[in-house]
């Protein structure tokens, strides 16, 4: 039976979500919560190997379906090995990306049919969704500019700007469809202001 809490951070490249996920994790730990910080693709030894396969700019020949199945493979392992055991013992699990990324990137970005994504999701996660998702939203030019400024260019980031615009639009559509779960946060604000908004939102929910 589920006892803990499952939270994801989502967004396009360069929104600062990994930093915000870590800041939230540290604050929750300080407040005495049993918190776990993890990421996708990754989170496990197998997941990290899959991450390398997915993100290496050397793998330009990867087909969209191979890419999709690898993201789900990483997720299945992540759920079994990290997320489900931690939630079952009562922890707050914070993941940097989860299924919404697959819908935004492989669905809206690559154009894979959404019904196919939902079918695979049922197999890979049995439909498990985060209790709450923090969507850090930023315009694509600013996000990509921030990442390129720090020389972060993996295979997905190297896609053209139209791809990233479709991804952002995908995230925003998901947020409009599921406002109870997906909370939109303006990532163009100062890092400290974003941190405060994230913390207020999460403490409100995990403490209630």
Contact residues: ligand TMP, CB under 6 A: 13, 40-41, 71, 97, 101-102, 105-106, 154, 156-157
CA atoms of 166 and 140, how far apart (whole Å): 10
In the bound state with ligand TMP, the residue whose beta carbon lies nearer, of 80 and 89, is 80
Other residues' Cβ atoms within 10 Å of the Cβ of residue 32: 7
Report H helices in the chain.
17-30, 45-55, 64-78, 84-88, 99-102, 114-125, 140-149, 161-177, 191-206
Report, in Å, the least distance between residue 71 CB and ligand TMP.
4
SS3 content of the chain, % helix, strand, coil (to 5): 55, 15, 30
Q: Which residue is nearest to ligand TMP (CB)?
A: 105
Among 107, 92, 119, 110, CA closest to 30? 92
User: Which two tokens mark 193?
Assistant: 């202001």
Q: Which is nearer to ligand TMP, 33 or 83 (CB)?
A: 83
Q: How far is the CB of 32 from ligand TMP (least distance, A)?
A: 28
* Least spacing, CB of residue 41 vs ligand TMP, in Å: 5
Cis status, amide bond into 170, omega within 30 of 0: no
Nearer CB in complex with ligand TMP: 20/102: 102
In whole angstroms, what is the distance from residue 69 CA to residue 17 CA? 24
Name the minimum Å distance from CB 2 to ligand TMP: 22
Q: What does residue 38 show for φ and ψ, rounded to 5 degrees?
A: -145, 180
Nearer to ligand TMP, 73 or 184 (CB): 73
Based on CB atoms, which residue is closest to ligand TMP, 126 or 200? 126
Q: How far is the CB of 157 from ligand TMP (least distance, A)?
A: 5
């Amino acid at each position: 039976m589920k006892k803990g809490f499952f939270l994801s951070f989502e967004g396009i490249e360069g929104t600062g979500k990994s930093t915000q996920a870590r800041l939230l994790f540290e604050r929750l730990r300080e407040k005495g919560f049993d918190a776990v910080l993890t990421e996708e693709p990754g989170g496990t030894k197998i997941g990290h190997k899959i991450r390398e396969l997915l993100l290496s700019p050397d793998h330009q020949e990867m087909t969209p379906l191979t890419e999709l199945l690898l993201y789900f493979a990483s997720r299945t392992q992540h759920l079994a090995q990290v997320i489900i055991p931690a939630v079952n013992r009562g922890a707050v699990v914070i993941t940097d990306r989860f299924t919404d990324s697959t819908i935004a990137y492989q669905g809206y970005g690559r154009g894979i049919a959404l019904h196919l994504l939902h079918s695979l999701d049922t197999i890979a996660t049995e439909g498990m969704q985060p209790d709450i998702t923090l969507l850090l939203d930023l315009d694509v030019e600013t996000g990509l500019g921030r990442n390129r400024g720090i020389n972060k260019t993996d295979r997905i980031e190297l896609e053209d700007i139209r791809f990233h615009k479709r991804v952002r639009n995908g995230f925003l559509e998901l947020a409009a469809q599921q406002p109870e779960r997906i909370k939109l946060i303006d990532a163009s604000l100062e890092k400290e202001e974003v941190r405060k908004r994230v913390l207020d939102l999460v403490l409100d929910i995990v403490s209630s």
